[in-house]
Amino acid sequence: MRLVAPFVRFVAACVFAASLGSALVLAQTTSVKAIIAPGAKPVWEKGIGPITPESYYQAIECGKQGGNPACVFWDTGLCKNADFEIAMYTPYKSVAYEVWRVVSSGKPAPQPNYAEAQRTHITVGVTPVRGSKNGLTDFVLKRGGKPVTPTARELSMGRFTFDFPAFAPTAPITFDMVGKTGTVSCTIDAATLKQMR
């Protein structure tokens, strides 16, 4: 009988510690709101979609701008947090970036391959912020609270590719960047999705 009471107290302490540990894990979720780099010219309100003649030529004009144009680098600081950085690769960005890269080296603007841009989907790149100890263990894109399955997934490289409906600017989406020591959850509202290109 004398052994039962200490055992019961021990089990109760373990249950309490486990529940406290669960609460601590839940407390380690950081929520941020996505913000597009300001000042992008020309203005874009159509969201990410397959390349079209209109978006192709607009992306070429975007890439001709000097410096670090927001229309090319619209994803800079997209889900700003202390652990992970997001970089996006889209059909528009593939054309604009190629033009920007060549023009920045002092050469005439190229005519990027239209057919290749048509084959490009949406890739989200997730890399750790310098000095972060929260290594990426998973990435989940949610729409309407439900996970969207990527068409390609390279966790070790931090690259996740999706089809266009995942980014339709009709409802908010969430990026859950799951790390070893905590999760960063980034909400992207419909207005911000419209500005993505």
Residue-level pLDDT, tens digit, the chain, 197 residues: 454 454 445 444 444 444 444 444 444 899 999 999 999 998 999 999 999 999 999 999 999 998 999 999 999 999 999 999 999 999 999 999 999 999 999 999 999 999 999 999 999 999 999 999 999 999 999 999 999 999 999 999 999 999 999 999 999 999 999 999 999 999 999 999 999 99
Tokens of 144: 């309407």
169 in a structural domain: yes
Q: Which domain holds residue 86?
A: 31-195
| 3-state SS, residue 50 | coil
44 in a structural domain: yes
Tokens of 63: 């890439």
Burial (CB count <10 Å: 0-12, 13-18, 19+), residue 78: buried
> How far is it, in rounded angstroms, from Cα 117 to Cα 111?
11
Residue pair 148/161 in contact (Cβ under 8 Å)? The answer is no
DSSP calls for 167-195 = G-TTS-EEEEEEESS-EEEEEE-HHHHHH
Helix (H) or strand (E) holding 151: none
The model carries a pTM of 0.84
Burial (CB count <10 Å: 0-12, 13-18, 19+), residue 143: middle
pLDDT at 37: 95
Q: Count the domains in the chain.
A: 1
> How far is it, in rounded angstroms, from Cα 74 to Cα 45?
13
25 in a structural domain: no
101 in a structural domain: yes
4 in a structural domain: no
7 in a structural domain: no
19 in a structural domain: no
Helix (H) or strand (E) holding 1: none
66 in a structural domain: yes
